[in-house]
Chains A and B, each alone.
Chain A
Amino acid sequence: MTRQRRDPRAERAAATMATAPRLRIDWTHRSGAGEPGASALPAAEIAPRSVTIADPEFLMFVIAEAPEGVLTRHDRQAIGAARLLDGGGAGAVVVLAAGPIAEAGAAGADLTMDLKLAGHDPDGAAMRIADSVRLYRPRHVLFTESEDGGDLARRVASLLDEPLFDRVESLSARRAIRPASAGRSEWHAAPPRLISIAPDMIAPYHGPPHAVGKLDAPEVTRAVPGLVNAGMISIDAACIPLDQAGLVLAAGNGVVDFPMFLRLAQALGATPGASRVVCDAGHLPRAMQVGASGTLLNADCYIALGISGAPQHLQGIGSVEHVVAVNTDLHAAIIARAELAIIADAQAVMRALLARLGAAS
């Protein structure tokens, strides 16, 4: 077999993405152009085929919180935990949620059950789940150990009069481990029926997507007493401590108009943050500082306005799920960290966002 000789000029021409307004060469071939052999496979063969469990030997229930029908990170971890217990594809994972949920198959679910719950009704939800457990007799029922998920798990456990193996940190088909005795010892057991999964301890499912079917929820048999009334309290996002905030809007050296920045944070419902430079200059209080010497965030989304992304600042946003960066410099470190980058002046973007939000309201 003779190898073809390289043609450096042709390779360079293939990697050239643009010549105007300036030359751009992409040697990583991420855009699909370049090596002719790379895209030879038809698209259908590249797309992962979906897994179908036609005749499951047993069922496993995962109780998902899924606010507005979208699985949370913790829900995905619970489904991943259920997939560990499926005995090599013998069992089917049923995801139970208050309403219909999207993208359950990609997360590893085989069936979904719509409990048809409205509003916050933990007693009604627990009774509905306990009824479906009695009806379908799943081998395992997995909950998320969050505030609402843990509450629901304990309500269901008390209704079924069964023990709950809570805050499971390690799980395999043979063994589940949970901490006990003030964290000084741990309990090992074969995975019992009712399990709740500690956050960020068990990896979500990353395999090929599963085909999703539907399972009927049992009929409501009786009304339940309990809570008279429930409603969320509206809290000003600016009052939420930075380490607990879900959406953070942060200002860096590229921001000049700080009153406009704070107005934008209020309009977005975001908690305002700042980089070290801004706090040092005294434009915003020290309590707002994000980074190694400020607050380490746990937010779902972080919007960085005019922040270049010093290593100490990137440490502060290490566990943030999604980062949006606005910066004039294409080569700033924050652009590499961000999933969505806008190469523009922060003032212009802030004005545009405020105009858009003002138009919406």
Chain B
Amino acid sequence: MRILVLLSAGRHATSGAPRPVAVELQAIALALALAENQAGSVNGLHAGMVDPSVADALGHGLDAITILRIGAGDDPLPALAAEIMARAPDLVFAGRRGFGGSDSGLLPYRLARACGWPIAADAVSVSLKDEELGVIQFLKRGRRRRLSLTIPAVVTVHEAAPPARNFIYRARLAGKIEEKPGVGDRGHGWRPRFIRTDRDRG
């Protein structure tokens, strides 16, 4: 059981200081609870610039985070989709919405479509039985809906999920951050062809 949790660069609502997105920390706690039942692993994944808010997620229970370096204005979807298809996790968790960027909550849906996986929104509880993922979805008026999906799948987590794990400074220091360049999606630029010589003609 391998789970990836998508992390985004969060900001404090008043001061604008970097801080992890609360609902993503809840997603980590939900993923860890599921992975402990299934003897699996949970890793973080972030596409963008290296941000202190992302590294702080290590203190909330993650062992390792992969950061895919892309430009500040680049679309993170190609980098994330390529990395997820390469690592082939069983589940991808995300917060229902970021807190500090565009905050539209659209990326998990685009990612699910790019991977061809089903997506369940607003989870407050997850369970796994025989390759079938049971998700309890938050609805207003105190109602809950039970969904069931095949894995691999993308699950977004709601604020009403169980609280995040406490921050542990030692775990923050011990956690590993792997940085690598991500697949960027930029406008194609013109490049000159090389000049063929006799040697190339063979």
Contacts and interface: CB of A to CB of B under 8 A. Distances in A.
A183 interface: yes
A182 B109 contact: no
Interface string B147-172: 11110000000000000000000000
B147 A227 contact: yes
A42 interface: no
B104 A166 contact: yes
A166 B118 CA distance: 22
B91 to A, nearest CB: 15
Given A182-B12, A225-B118, A120 B145 contact: yes
A226 interface: yes
A231 B109 CA distance: 22
Interface string B80-102: 00000000000000000001111
B179 interface: no
Contacts of A147: 121-122, 137-140
Contact of B149 (A179, A182, A227, A300): A227
Interface string A261-289: 00000000001000000000000000000
A182 B102 contact: no
A232 B101 contact: no
Contacts of B118: 123, 225-227
A237 B142 CA distance: 8
A230 B145 contact: yes
A182 B10 contact: yes
Contacts of A159: 113
A155 interface: yes
B120 A227 contact: yes
Contact of A166 (B105, B132, B139, B145): B105
Given A181-B100, A181-B101, A158 B147 contact: no
A184 interface: yes
Contact of B148 (A155, A179, A227, A239): A227
A147 B146 CA distance: 14
Q: How large is the interface on A (under 10, 10 to 19, 20 to 34, 35 or more residues)?
A: 35 or more
A240 B100 contact: no
Contacts of B147: 227, 229-230
A317 B91 CA distance: 43
Interface string B121-146: 11000000000100011111111111
B146 A230 contact: yes
A122 to B, nearest CB: 8
B142 A240 contact: yes
B13 A233 contact: no
B156 to A, nearest CB: 9
Interface string A100-122: 00000000000000000000101
Given A182-B100, A245-B141, A233 B136 contact: yes
B16 interface: yes
B142 A184 contact: no
Interface of B: 10-14, 16, 99-106, 108-110, 112-113, 118-122, 132, 136-150
13 contacts: A147-B122, A147-B139, A147-B140, A151-B122, A166-B104, A182-B12, A183-B13, A228-B148, A228-B149, A229-B147, A235-B142, A244-B141, A245-B141
